[in-house]
Amino acid sequence: MVMTRVHGVERVERAGRGGPWGAAGVFTAVAFVAAGALGAVQPATGVPAEVVQLTQFGPAAGVGAVALYRWRRTRELLRGGGGREGRGRGRGGGRAAALLGSAVLIVALTVIAYGAFRGGVGFTPPGALHHPFVLIAAAQLVGACGEEIGWRCFLQPLLRTRFGTIISSVLVGSAWGAWHVPVFAQAPAYAAGFLVATVAMSVVLGVALDGTGGPHRLLLAGGFHTLVNLGLLLFMDEESGAVTPMLCFGLSCLVVALAWAARSASAPAPALVPAPAPKPARAAEPVPASEAGSAPTTLHGT
């Protein structure tokens, strides 16, 4: 079912033929395959992984694949045609500040937790990186948007036509986590912490962005993603395969996600009403006898 908003009230409409599953399956399959192919060719391109990982553009390829045969529906989803339209509009500045602040909070909680456990946290000064930090930050934003146009701007609104905010966010977060295939070559605890992080961050993004669309949604999701990546780059060593920083990261994401979920649960839900049924055809009004022509001499069909 698709929920649309009319005169301040949401109405429920039937989703497109086949529901969201066919498009979701094509998107996910292409996102996995394209990411693997891009990761394989990255060494030959000379693009440093510290700057941007080409695998991040796999989800964008998935969106493109679906658009080849469902262009109109894809365009609607990217514009914000799924979910609860209008919910949260009018508070875009507060939404952006809360979402981007949540990314900073996740990094801060991770650093605090890891520091408490280890007795200290390392810090990599931006000048100590192998490439200019401004270049890394800009490339990270582009790469994050390459991911988020798929996960948050396409798949999330697509599943939102069938499920509520939290359930659709958990489904997207699970697919997002599984898409990071190399993670599963690490220790089970590391992979578990990473999956908790992706699902939790997906809930944060799903709740914060519900009812938005277009470039605004993409930039907010990409900005959140970028801030988290840059924070981990400067403060943590989770990509080394160390379990403790990843567990701290996952738990920090979970804490923030629970706060957003509680906020979503406490928000008043808009009224849902069934879509109006088609109006029956109006019967022809009787013609005054003075205006009627001569009566037919034969009654056809009798």
Taking only the tens place, the pLDDT of each residue in 97-150 is: 999 999 999 999 999 999 998 887 888 888 888 899 999 999 999 999 999 999
Q: Which two tokens stand for residue 122?
A: 């390392």
pLDDT tens-digit readout, 32-78: 999 999 999 999 999 999 899 999 999 999 999 999 999 999 999 99
Contact residues for 288 (Cβ-Cβ < 8 A; gap 6+):
none
Our count of domains for the chain comes to: 1
In a domain, 42, yes or no: yes
Does residue 26 lie in a domain region? Answer: yes
Instruction: Report the C-alpha gap between 223 and 217 in whole angstroms.
Output: 10
Torsion of CA 176, 182, 183, 186, to 10 degrees: 170
Confidence of residue 13 (pLDDT cuts 50, 70, 90): very low
Structural domain contains residue 292 = no
Confirm whether 94 is domain-assigned. Answer: yes
Q: Bridge-partner residues for 118, per DSSP?
A: none
- Would residue 296 count as lying in a domain? no
pLDDT grade for 192, boundaries at 50, 70 and 90: very high
Count of beta carbons in the 10 Å neighbourhood of residue 92: 12
34 in a domain, yes or no?
Answer: yes
Task: Find all residues with CB under 8 Å of 152, minimum gap 6, and list them.
Answer: 172, 205, 206, 209, 217, 218, 221
Alpha carbons 217 and 151: distance in angstroms, whole number: 11
49: in domain: yes
pTM of the entire predicted model: 0.81
Q: In terms of residue numbers, what domain contains 28?
A: 2-270
Whether residue 10 has pLDDT greater than 50: no
Is 169 a domain residue? yes
